Structure 1
Amino acid sequence: MKLQPGTPREAGLDPSRLDRVYEMLETWAREEKIQGGSLAVTRNGVLVEPRGFGVRKRSEGTDSMPGDAIFLVASVTKPLTATAVMLLVERGLVCLDDSVAAILPEFAGEGRDEIRVRHLLTHTSGLPDMLPENLDLRRRHAPLDEFIKGICRCKLLFEPGTRISYQSMGTAMLGEIVARVTGRPLRSFLEEEIFFSLGMESTALGIREELRERVALVEIPAEQRGTDWHWNTGYWQNLGVPWGGMFSTVEDLVVLLQMFLNGGEYGGSQLLGLQTAQAMVTAQTSRMPRLQEESRREQAWGLGWKMGWCDLSTEDSFGHGGATGTLVGADPRTGLACAIFTTRPGAPLRYVANMVNGAVV
């Protein structure tokens, strides 16, 4: 199934309830709770035309935010990196219970030998979210391989497989696994194997030059202002980190979500096998015998996807958020998929997600 344009009613959404979502986003922009954003909603394969709100600040000036604006999606990148790894799994190149150190020998030592690929995909590796030297690396405009070297000598926070703790550095190692096993940089692998296959023409890991003029600049937090390494700088936009360096549009992301709702297929092409797609959006942490009960109760992770994405979605729903003010999610039970991108870090997007879910009829 490929997404087809249609009206809210054709999608099985209450038009008046969806209008309330648009009105709230317009109000937020008017009251400067957000500078600008875009929203795309689909249900049962019908795409309601993406809409923009507020303004887009660009290097060339400011204009109204279009529905096809490109955003730095931050950690919404992580499920894409995970998808790349799962392609290797179903091709027989990697197993979920492979030792990461067996693939990347320099990763061995200080307990890291016990980390499996599965742990990286479920935030149970014990690696930190960010390296202690993260800011220093960014100030020096360090290349990605310096981050990888730092991860290969960092101390674990806990024994792998015993707790859940969100870890961007685990996703960094997933990207390195893809590069090492395939001989291709992650950005090339994603572009050739996923973005091209799904028709995600406005998506890239690290900004492509021809897309740059469509980028909506992030509102920079106080601690980053005045630096030459913040989210809007050439250094960060070009670095393409596996844990948060992707640029995309709301429409491209709902295409990705629809592929998972379709069981790995989109537009007649089977990107992922049915079992692979289902495994990624099924709670895996509930099956980990050594996981602390507190972690098991508080969070549930699939393979790269967080299970449950708002208060009103079902337990089968999945999604991910990003620190730049982005949120995506889908629900197999209702056929709903949604991408909400803003330029305001910390924007209260779960309120929007609840309202979108409330429009399902």
Structure 2
Amino acid sequence: MLEYVSPGSIGMDAAQLQRAYDLATAWTTAEGAEPAIMPAAAIMVGRNGKAVEPKFFGRQGTGKDAPPIRRDALFLIASLTKPITYLGAMILVERGLLGLSDPVTKYIPDFAAHHKENTLVQHLFTHTSGLPDMLENNTELRRQHAPLSKFIDGAIRDTVPKFPAGTDYSYQSMGTLVVAEIVQRISGLSISDFLQKEIFTPLGLKSSALGVRDLNRERLTQLQTPEFAGVEQFGWNSPYWRELGAPWGGMFSTPDDYAVLCQLMLNGGSYGNVRIVSSATVEKMTTNRLNDFPDLPEPIRRTKPWGLGWQLNHPATEGTLGDLLPSAAYGHLGATGTLFWIDPQRQAFCIIFTTMERDRAPWRLVHLSNAVAAAME
């Protein structure tokens, strides 16, 4: 866990940081008979290897009478899972067991179905594979409480590319799932066990896991859920989804644990005495790899840059990590109302975990991010 210090000691304006906290307080406070706009939130910022103690807001559940949020609350962080899944895959790249320039079919022969034989592993890392975000029968599979293997089979055999790989950009959770399956086939471990063995355990992250595993269920926050998702049957709060461990969005964590992962990246792949990946790997993961594809239109490469599984900032779009962040900042957004960014120029990071469905008001996360970024002196 990072050492806690005062904002001023790491070059952050405490009064400006308080503006972010005040916004989170207002949005997590219920008015009258209506529940709060944002049931719960947590904000943690760090710089130069140290951090300001995380602040927690709101309630553990979605109702106005739910108990106050716990200091050790666990959040389902949705697509903030993806960079960690890709980080795991890069461990195999470093060991000479996986090649980014290899066709996916080298590792999964059946992936050739529906003319996907020219898709490279790197296309899966950069959302340029043409795969869909979700399977056509995603809702039905979840309603059936299908195991992860059913989603994997669909991503491999049933997906039809929207465009030839490397010629366009389309956000694709199923590409992340295929990468997770490659990791499973190479390592002989489930993706959940692999991340636990290679990342979480070495770093001492006892409150992070892909799927709830043996984490204390009482610490889990309840989330707002999309209208299509049966809350009891297969929604984000259901036992099924919590236990599935979706590699594209099923990780649980705390601000303190995720801060270690942020600092790992700022340190060039190491934390304390533990090295997870090399500094060369971190550089590749966090610089614009869309420039590697000559057939990708220049406006896409310029305005929606991606590293290897890590999003670079997309200014002036709904997918921005923050309006005040430089282009070199990287991080990710999550559907459960989560956002994090890392600014290598200022050696800083920001983690915002909420339990608000992001699609209801994506701008709220950006506004919180802006208030934090403005605190950096």
Q: What TM-score does the superposition give when structure 2 sets the normalisation length? A: 0.92
Q: Which residue of 1 aligns with 2:256?
A: 251
Matched, 1:157 2:162: yes
Structure 2: how far apart are the matches of 1:208 and 1:216?
Answer: 15
Distance in 2, Cα, partners of 1:211 & 1:179:
26
Partner of 1:97: 101
Contact 1:39 1:67 (C-alpha < 8 Å) held by counterparts:
no
Q: Deviations over 1:188-210 (max 9, x none)?
A: 01001001122211000000234
Aligned to 2:345: 333
In 1, distance between residues paired with 2:230 and 2:212? 21
Percent sequence identity is 43
1:150 is displaced (CA, Å) by 1.0
Q: Bigger CA drift: 167-176 or 98-107? A: 98-107
Q: Is the 8 A contact 1:121 1:303 kept in 2?
A: yes
Q: After superposing the two structures, state which structure 1 stretch, 83-92 or 110-119, moved more.
A: 110-119
Retained in 2: the 8 A contact 1:257–1:337? yes
Matches within 5 A, 1:126-165: 126-152=130-156, 153-165=158-170
- AA matched with 1:154: T
C-alpha separation in 2, matches of 1:85 and 1:53: 34
Spell out the pairing of 1:308-319 with structure 2 (5 A cutoff).
308=313, 309-319=321-331
**For the Cα contact (< 8 Å) 1:121–1:170, is it kept in 2?**
yes
1:123 and 2:135 matched: no
The residue number in structure 1 matching 2:26 is: 27
Q: Is the 8 A contact 2:39 2:62 kept in 1?
A: no
Shift of 1:336: 1.1
Q: How does 1:1-361 map to 2 (within 5 A)?
A: 3-31=2-30, 32-57=36-61, 62-152=66-156, 153-226=158-231, 228-308=233-313, 309-346=321-358, 347=361, 348-361=364-377
Task: Considering fraction of residues, name the structure with more strand.
Answer: 1
- How far residue 58 of structure 1 moved from its aligned partner, in angstroms, is 8.4
**Residues 220-229 or 248-257, more deviating:** 220-229
Counterpart CA distance in 2 for 1:82 and 1:156 is: 21
Distance 1:290 1:345 in 2: 35
The amino acid across from 1:222 in the alignment is E
Could you tell me how far apart the structure 1 residues matched to 2:163 and 2:71 are? Answer: 43
- Structure 2, unaligned runs of 5 or more: 31-35, 314-320
1:17–1:359: 8 Å Cα contact kept in structure 2? yes
- Aligned counterparts of 1:210 and 1:297: Cα–Cα separation in 2: 41
Output one character per residue of 1:62-90: Cα deviation in whole Å (capped at 9) or x when no partner. Answer: 32123431111110000011001100001
Q: Is the 8 A contact 1:72 1:324 kept in 2?
A: yes
**1:160-185 per-position Cα deviation (integer Å, ceiling 9, x unaligned):** 00111100000000110000000000
The number of equivalent residue pairs is 359
Query: Per-residue CA shift, 1:134-174, capped at 9, x if unaligned?
Result: 11111111111111111122211000001111000000001
Equivalent-residue separation in structure 1 for 2:16 and 2:266 (angstroms):
23
Report the TM-score when normalising by structure 1.
0.96
The alignment partner of 2:28 has SS state of helix
- Does the residue aligned with 1:247 lie in a helix, a strand or coil? strand
Please state how far the C-alpha of 1:107 moved relative to its aligned partner: 1.1
4+ runs deviating over 4 angstroms: none
| CA 248–226 in structure 1, closer or farther in 2 if over 3 Å, else same | closer
Amino acid at match of 1:156: P
| Secondary structure in 1 matching 2:87 | helix
2:231 and 2:374 mapped to 1: Cα distance? Answer: 41
Deviates more, 1:50-59 or 1:107-116: 50-59
2: CA distance, partners of 1:226 / 1:328: 26
Change (3 A) 1:296 1:228: same
SS at match of 1:4: coil
| CA–CA distance in structure 2, aligned partners of residues 23 and 109 of structure 1 | 52
